[in-house]
Structure 1
Amino acid sequence: MKLEEIRSLSRLMQETGLSVLDLKENGTHLRLERAFSEKAPLPATSKEFDVAAPISAQPQEKAEKSALKISPAPEGTPLKAPMVGVFYNAPSPDAKPFVSVGDFVKKGDTLCVIEAMKLFNEISAEKDGKVLEICVRNGQVVEYGQTLFYIG
């Protein structure tokens, strides 16, 4: 796969709000993942794309530079998802979130719930500290081992 095709896929992920793209083509396996913070804007509309359609690389230097920019991870400890499921930042849709960026938490405090097979599993802080970053959106499907929070 050519670099310009990967850049095009990266732009597509940004434009549509996709968090994970897994592509297998001609013996090549490519997996792209994006982390979201509370500051990241989410797309207002969803778009459908034909996966079989050929990839066209349109030169947009500014978009390419921002799409491939690597930012350093926060200095805190990552808290990773212990299972696959749907991430929820509050106990119910009308309730306030368990935590926000900047909150101080103690070991054992509930940070979120992950719904898996109609069961809501509370995810607790593994140590005392400050919530430095929330890496996923409310209602987003998360994978095993995906970083949910940074605690410092």
Structure 2
Amino acid sequence: MSDFPIAPEELRRLARLVEQHDLAELRYEEGSLRVTLRTTVPTLAVPVAGATVAAPLPLTAAPVAAGATATAAAPTGTPIEAPIMGVFYRSPAPGAPSFVEVGDTVEKDQPIGMIEAMKVFSEVLADHAGRVVAIPAENGKLVQPGDPLVLLES
């Protein structure tokens, strides 16, 4: 038995879950053990007797297609931000039309998408009016509070 509070196989299993499901963060709790895996920070933080032990996580990089440029001019506009963490959906149901598309005019309090958190779907409403210039949030991907979902131009 090791002094390390979690087996290395369990850490690898959790890291595979993060990678397989393209998660930004995974929190695991069992008794007094708490583990948080984040892909935005290339370490695994494990609290051990009041201290934090950090171990590197395997990160993968998406290849850049031949002839593509790594940088592009970012669209400008006022963002409608994610109010909560969850999975963002651009349409109310699979196969249904998106709430908004680039070029659409949006009114204040109009639905622009949905976020699923803990099997509960919540509409995201526009907090201001404008024309949609970009939709940086990907359909079916995890978003964090404050992430820009849609950019509007007044």
1:122 partner SS: strand
Structure 2 CA distance, aligned partners of 1:19 and 1:131?
27
Confirm or deny: 8 A CA contact 2:109 2:126 kept in the other structure: yes
Counterpart contact for 2:85–2:117, Cα < 8 Å = yes
- Which residue does the alignment assign to 1:140? 141
Aligned-pair CA distance for 1:149 = 1.0
Is residue 122 of structure 1 aligned with residue 123 of structure 2? yes
Q: Which is worse superposed, 139-148 or 72-81?
A: 72-81
Whether the 8 Å contact between 2:23 and 2:142 is mirrored in structure 1 is no
Q: 1:129 to 1:19 in 2, by over 3 A?
A: farther
Q: Which runs of 5+ in 1 are unaligned?
A: 1-17, 29-49, 56-61
Cα displacement string for residues 52-86 of structure 1 (whole angstroms, at most 9, x for unaligned residues): 9xx9xxxxxx97x933x3x4432310111111001
AA matched with 1:84: M
Larger strand fraction of residues: 2
Structure with bigger gyration radius: 2
Off by >4 Å, runs of 4+ in structure 1: none
The TM-score normalised by the length of structure 1 is: 0.58
> Match of 1:107?
108
1:128: Cα distance to partner? 1.1
- Report the TM-score when normalising by structure 2: 0.57
SS at match of 1:66: coil
Q: Which residue of 2 aligns with 1:76?
A: 77
Which structure carries more relative contact order (alpha carbon 8 Å, separation 6+)? 1
Separation in 2, partners of 1:51, 1:24: 9
**What SS does the aligned partner of 2:108 have?**
coil
Between the aligned partners of 2:101 and 2:23, the Cα distance in structure 1 is: 21
Shift of 1:51: 2.1
The structure in which a higher percent of residues are helix is 1
SS in 2 for 1:150: strand
Residue type matched to 2:43 in 1? K
Query: Where does structure 2 lack aligned partners over 5 or more consecutive residues?
Result: 1-21, 25-38, 45-52
Q: How many residues in Structure 1 have an aligned counterpart in Structure 2?
A: 108
